[in-house]
Structure formats: C-alpha cells, structure tokens
Structure 1
Amino acid sequence: MEVDEKKSWLSRLSFFRSKKAIFALILTAIVAIVLIVLAATGILRPNTSGSDSRSNSPPQSSDNNTDTPAGVITTANGITIGAGNWKPENSTRIADGVPLRIMALGASLIRGEFSTTNTGFRKTMRDELVGLGVPVNMVGSQRFGDMLDNDLEAYGGNRISQIHEHATRIVSQLQPNLFVIHVGSNNVLQDIDVDKAGEHMEGFINYLLKASPRSTVVFSTCLTNTVPDCEPKILEVNQQYRELVKKFDSKPVLLAEMHYSEGFPDRPQVADIGPDGTHPFDFGYGLMGNIFTDSIQEADKKGYLRWPVENGLERDGDAGRADATATTSELPPSTSAATATLARAARRRIRP
C-alpha cells in the first residue's frame, strides 16, 4: 500500500513538472514573438540623438535636410539650431530670472506697419514672454506703436546691409542679450543683392555677436509675398538662410521658420497677407509673435541666454514710462501712395 501511494505522488509530481515546463515554453514563445514585433515596428530602436524625439522631429517635407551637419537640429516648431548641446559660458535660464533686453531689428515688418496698433508681432511676443514671468525691456533708438515698451531698431524699406549699418550705431551702447531679426523682403522687392542675402546676413549676425557678446540671435526666414514675381526670390533668400544657420555651430544662433512652404503648422499663409502683398493682417502678425516666442523658449531650453550687461537700463521696459499711450512715429513715405492708402483702409482679417 505504501509503495503504491509513493508511486501515485511521483506520478502527480511528474505531471506538474511537465505542465510547468509546457507553460514556460509557451510563455517564452509569446515573449519572443512580442519582442520581434516591437523591433520590427521600431519601438525598441535606441534613440541615438541623445535628445527628446518630440522636439527634434519636424514634419515630413520635400527637404529632409540629409546634408545637415552633426549637431544641427530642427524642432517640431520649425526652429533650427546650429549648436547641438553646446551652451555658452555663464548661461542662465528664464526660470533663474534672467531679464530679456530685446532689440528687434529689420524693416517695416518689424515695425508692424499696417497692423491695427502699429505694433505688429512685437506686442504679442512681449505679452507672451511677460506671461511666462520674464522681465522684458525692448530696446532701440526708435519708438513705434501703441504700446509702452515700444523701442526698436527698424527702418521701412531697408535691406539687410542697411539694417546692419544702422545697428553699428546703437548695439554696442545698449548691449541687448537677445536680437530678434526679420529682414530680407526689401532685397527681393527692390531686386538688390538677392543672391547675397545669406552672405550679408552672416556678416550682420557675426557683428551682433561680437558687439554684444552676451547676446543670442533669433533670425527668421521671410514671410510669403504676393507681389508679382517676388515669391520665387523670397524662397531663394529663405533657402540661403537655412543653409546659413548650419554655419553657426557652437554659437547662440537660431533660425525661426516663418514660411509655410516647409510644412510647419501655424505659419502665415497667402490669405494672411494684406493688399500690398508684403505686410500681414493682424492675424498674420500674431502668428509671427507666436513663432518668435517659441524660438526664445527654445533658446532658453538650450541654455543660450545670458544675463545682460548692467548698464543702467531698466529690466522692465514699461518702467518709467508715465504716459498711458505710447509715442508713435509717423509711417515712412510709401513707394506707392495708392498701395499704402489701400493697406491702411483694408479690413483686418481674423481667422478662426
């Protein structure tokens, strides 16, 4: 009886061992199949970029930047950075309280001509930065637009080389720690130095970095233009700018993509451009402000920002401005009085 009982237990144990082995084999097969499927779909591929793929993956376009050098990335917001993970010495962050002393450089699009308040994108950008808790002082030798902190360095009808010349008279004195640039449309409109736009912009940016050593430069591609025969040249200038930013490796320089042709969302479209073919309606100016704000936040994320030189300027540009209404200078003479009149009278388009 005892022998039979022992055989019975051994038989049961053998059965459980066999069942356990079968279960283990099935589980191993399932795991192997799952791993094969994940590898095939790319989920298990290692991230070799060393950064967050959400910020480094632009939408698909005809130009995949296959010749982009190491360290140059374009974020999902259309901001191209030429310095990889490099940070300047003494870099600081918005979270650390670094004030932004911003000089907006360019021509009539920087001035915001034909916008409702003559502030263009500048008020949108400034309000968004202040909303992030950033002390902002817009600086320059001019004042334009219905906002208190309305200083800038912009001259209607000027080309890249002309704005460069104006900058040499004021930058070293004010020492901005951030430059915001949109210029090049007048090279196209006047058909002057279109093929040298990138070269002239390179010299301009190099001057700014040298004259104000604690600065970061955000320059942008040109808006779409509906003046006859101008758009192909706008695209030519923009491509020169995209190639140019690749040269600024290990320098605090970013390119903000303003043209919708690259496939990034929320760029001014043809319908956002006013009757003169160059200046956007208020909605388009607002988009420009959003894009520049995104670029400044990207510069902050990369650690490009540095504390401005202490030269007696206020950290808050609204401080000391007692007038409730900001001074607004007159618009410069237009090359076409009829176009200017039409642009002033045009209704401001609001898109949903």
Structure 2
Amino acid sequence: MSTENIDEKRSWSSRFSFLRTKRAIATLTFLVVASVVLIALGATHVLQPNTGNSASGGGNDGSSESNGDTLDSNEQSSDTNTTADGITTASSNWKPANSSSIADGTPLRIMSLGASLVRGEFSTGDIGFRKTMRDELIALNAPVNMVGSQRFGDMLDNDLEAYGGNRVDQIHEHATHIVPQLQPNVFLIQVGTNNVLQNRDVDKAGEHMEAFIDYLLAISNRSTVIFSTCLTNTVANCEPRILDVNQQYRELIKKYDSKPVLLAEMHPSEGFPDRPQAADIGPDGTHPTDFGYGLMGHIFTKSIQEADRKGYLRWPVENGLERDGEVGRAEETATTSELPPSTSTINSHTQTKAAITTGSAR
C-alpha cells in the first residue's frame, strides 16, 4: 500500500475520532442540563406524584376507605365541613367499608341516648322529637327500628335509652349495659344540659363526650354517631355554660376525621335557620314546646340524610332484630314505665322485638 493511501486513512480516522468525541461531549452536556432542570422542578413541587383521592365520592364497596386510613395521625386535617343545615363533620372524604344509603334500603336501627330531652318530657304524648324524625325517615322509605332498654311515649316504636337528669358520663355508663346486645347502626346523642343545670363537670363535657363516642364506635363498629349541641336555655345564669359546652362539642368534632361522626347544631347562636329559639323553650326554661321538639326531630333527620350522603350508613349486624320497629307491636298506648338496665337482660318489651340471645321472642 502506498504512503499516500496510508496517510489518507489516518486522516479519515482522525476525523471520526473527533466527531465521536464531540458527540460524546454534546450528549454528556445534554444529560447534565436535563438533570439540573428535573432537580429544579422537583424542588419547586412542579413535578410531584398525585397522591389525592382520584375518586372522591367512593363507592359502596368501601374502595376509598384506604384514603382515610393511610393518613398519618399527625397529618390529618383539623378542619370541618358544615352544611347549610348546621351539620358538621371533619373534612375527610373517607367512607367506611360496607357503606350504603337510605335509598338502598339500609335498615336504620336507631338508639336515642340522653336525658329528659331525648325522652320528650313535657311534650304532647311524651314523643318529643322522636316521632317527627321517625315519620320523616319512613317517608324517605327507610326501614326504622328505634331500640333501647326503655319504652316511653305514645308511639308504637318508642324504644330509647334515656334517663332524666343524666349527665354525659352517666348515659355513657347506661349504654355499656345495652349497646353490646342491640348493636345499633345509628346513635343519636343529645346530652350535656344536665351538666350545666347541676353545674357539674361542665368543663369536662367535651372530654366525657369523646370517651362516650369512642366507646360506641368501638363496641358497635358498623355504627354512625350523631351528637348534638345543647339547646338554648332560659334558666337564670345557665346560658353561658350552655355556650361553653357547645363550643367544646364543636372542637370535638374536629378529632373525628375518617370516622362516621357528625355534629348536629341545635343552638341558634351559630345562625342556622330553624333552630329552637328561646321562644320555643317551655316555662321550665329547659324543655322545648311541641314546636321546638319538632325542630329537633327535623334536625336529626337532616343529620341522618347527611350521613347517607357521605356514605356513612352501614348495614346493621344481623342479631334477630326486626328491620321495622312496629312489626309485632300490638295496637297499644305505649307505657311510660322504666326498668333499670341489666348486664344480662333486656326488658320484656325490647325482647318482644328481637330474640337476641335465644333466637325466639319471649
């Protein structure tokens, strides 16, 4: 091979080496620039994975439950959502497993807990808010069974768990004797006024209510808890303490993110329409007139509808209880007698509605 050809080949080889080196430098420069850009975007949160709930509504299969359960307890929001009807929940979009709705025919096994305001004392027929609420739920095609160890008021389905003069911790104690047997899927709590009237544990009402709610959710784990603020009170010097208890309850609801708990606003101070006013309270300064009780019933109905809308309502435990609390009841005027709760028995009226332990009515 001639010297000229060898020189020519060396020349072309040098050119290719130069081009390869230039291309490598260009590629390396591009990768460095791209890396710098990506790091900058990540630092400014422009590029972040979407960790939000892609299906905020969720479904009845409870598929969105993990959205609430996977939140770190220190990162959960303390904000609340309040509807135009004065119903407050924590801000989570969480839904429990096995959730359903009134429209789907979920039986509502409702236990009303509290004191004389829940019993409906001083109302016509001693029905208080319960008949108004029950009638409204029936009109929504909801199967309703009111449950409890007590019967009170001139209505067939008049079971409840309420005792005159009870404070928050006292009705909690009563509940421990009956809730495990009946397993309600809806609890309605209206209590706290006696803490004020007796001037006892007023500053602990919220703390005691929290322990009460936590117990109910744990022992009846398909349940939704609706607790309410206290009504306005015209007894001398009581209203400031009523406002104190109510504020404790409004702060408490913030703790129940990812829990089926709602606060029903009963007091007019928050500006919501159709709350019992001072003019709707009877002469004793504490118990409402019939009209005031009717407003309470409507508020509780709205609260149950809100629980439905949020997907909180779950099918109750099958334990022999009727879906309709009037089934099997004779056409009678309900009695006003009370029997003390027992850890081993339920009163005969309640046992007529369900065979809880033996499988047959007594």
After TM superposition, the score normalised by the length of structure 2 is 0.72
Moved more, 74-83 or 128-137: 74-83
How far apart are residue 71 of structure 1 and its match? 5.5
CA–CA separation in structure 2 for the residues paired with 1:293 and 1:133: 13
Letter in 2 for 1:215: S
How far apart are residue 251 of structure 1 and its match? 0.2
The answer to whether residue 126 in structure 2 is matched with residue 118 in structure 1 is yes
Query: How far does the alpha carbon of each residue in 1:319-341 deviate from its partner, in whole angstroms, 9 at most, with x for none?
Result: 000133222237xxxxxxxxxxx
Letter in 1 for 2:243: L
How far apart are residue 82 of structure 1 and its match? 1.4
CA–CA separation in structure 1 for the residues paired with 2:232 and 2:326: 33
Q: Secondary structure at the match of 1:255?
A: strand
Query: How far does the alpha carbon of each residue in 1:158-215 deviate from its partner, in whole angstroms, 9 at most, with x for none?
Result: 1000000000000000000000000000000000000000000000000000010000
Match of 2:335 among 327, 348, 351: 327
Root-mean-square deviation over aligned CA pairs: 1.7
- 2:143–2:324 Cα contact (<8 Å) kept: yes
Which residue does 1:47 correspond to in 2? none
- 1:177–1:308 Cα contact (<8 Å) kept: yes
The answer to whether residue 290 in structure 2 is matched with residue 279 in structure 1 is no
Match of 2:96 among 88, 91, 108: 88
- 2:77–2:91 Cα contact (<8 Å) kept: no
CA–CA separation in structure 1 for the residues paired with 2:154 and 2:299: 21
CA–CA separation in structure 1 for the residues paired with 2:272 and 2:221: 32
Which residue does 2:211 correspond to in 1? 203
Equivalences for residues 148-297 of structure 1 within 5 A:
148-297=156-305
Letter in 2 for 1:133: N
Q: Secondary structure at the match of 2:227?
A: strand
Q: Secondary structure at the match of 1:117?
A: helix
Which residue does 1:36 correspond to in 2? none
Which residue does 1:74 correspond to in 2? 82
Letter in 2 for 1:294: K
Query: How far does the alpha carbon of each residue in 1:92-120 deviate from its partner, in whole angstroms, 9 at most, with x for none?
Result: 11111100000000000000000011010
Q: Secondary structure at the match of 1:95?
A: coil
Equivalences for residues 136-151 of structure 1 within 5 A:
136-151=144-159
Match of 2:317 among 309, 314, 329: 309
- 2:78–2:257 Cα contact (<8 Å) kept: no
Which residue does 2:109 correspond to in 1? 101
Q: Secondary structure at the match of 2:137?
A: helix
Letter in 1 for 2:164: G
Change beyond 3 A, Cα 1:318–1:265: same
Query: How far does the alpha carbon of each residue in 1:48-87 deviate from its partner, in whole angstroms, 9 at most, with x for none?
Result: xx89xxxxxxxxxxxxxxxx94662011110001152110
Q: Where does structure 2 lack aligned partners over 5 or more consecutive residues?
A: 1-55, 58-75, 339-362
- 2:189–2:227 Cα contact (<8 Å) kept: yes
CA–CA separation in structure 1 for the residues paired with 2:79 and 2:250: 15
CA–CA separation in structure 1 for the residues paired with 2:89 and 2:312: 11
After TM superposition, the score normalised by the length of structure 1 is 0.74
- 1:83–1:252 Cα contact (<8 Å) kept: no
CA–CA separation in structure 2 for the residues paired with 1:251 and 1:122: 25
Equivalences for residues 39-54 of structure 1 within 5 A:
none
- 1:83–1:251 Cα contact (<8 Å) kept: no
Percent identical among aligned pairs is: 78
CA–CA separation in structure 1 for the residues paired with 2:144 and 2:136: 10
Q: Where does structure 1 lack aligned partners over 5 or more consecutive residues?
A: 1-49, 52-67, 331-352
CA–CA separation in structure 1 for the residues paired with 2:101 and 2:194: 35
CA–CA separation in structure 2 for the residues paired with 1:144 and 1:290: 20
The answer to whether residue 136 in structure 2 is matched with residue 128 in structure 1 is yes
Query: How far does the alpha carbon of each residue in 1:130-153 deviate from its partner, in whole angstroms, 9 at most, with x for none?
Result: 000000000000000000000000
- 1:188–1:233 Cα contact (<8 Å) kept: yes
Q: Secondary structure at the match of 1:181?
A: strand
CA–CA separation in structure 1 for the residues paired with 2:129 and 2:278: 17
Query: How far does the alpha carbon of each residue in 1:295-346 deviate from its partner, in whole angstroms, 9 at most, with x for none?
Result: 000000000000000000000000000133222237xxxxxxxxxxxxxxxx
Moved more, 81-90 or 277-286: 81-90
Aligned residues: 267
